[in-house]
Chain A
Amino acid sequence: DAKTTQPTSMDCAEGRAANLPCNHSTISGNEYVYWYRQIHSQGPQYIIHGLKNNETNEMASLIITEDRKSSTLILPHATLRDTAVYYCIAGNQAGTALIFGKGTTLSVSS
Chain B
Amino acid sequence: GAVVSQHPSRVICKSGTSVKIECRSLDFQATTMFWYRQFPKQSLMLMATSNEGSKATYEQGVEKDKFLINHASLTLSTLTVTSAHPEDSSFYICSARDPRVREGTYNEQFFGPGTRLTVL
Contacts and interface: CB of A to CB of B under 8 A. Distances in A.
Given A97-B49, A100-B43, A100-B44, A46 B113 contact: no
Interface residues of A, number: 26
B105 A44 contact: no
Nearest to B31: A95
Interface in B83-120: 91, 93, 95, 97-98, 101-114, 116
Interface in A45-76: 45-46, 49, 51
Interface residues of B, number: 31
B34 A94 contact: no
Contacts of A32: 106-107
A92 interface: yes
Please give me the 8 A-B residue pairs with the lowest Cβ-Cβ distance, nearest first: A43-B111, A100-B44, A94-B107, A97-B34, A44-B111, A100-B43, A43-B114, A43-B113
A103 B111 contact: no
Contacts, number: 72
A100 B45 CA distance: 7
A97 B49 CA distance: 7
A80 interface: no
Contacts of B1: 46
A1 to B, nearest CB: 10
A14 B68 CA distance: 44
A51 B106 contact: yes
Given A42-B114, A43-B114, A46-B1, A98 B91 contact: no
Contacts of A103: 43
Contact of A95 (B6, B32, B43): B32
A43 B107 contact: no
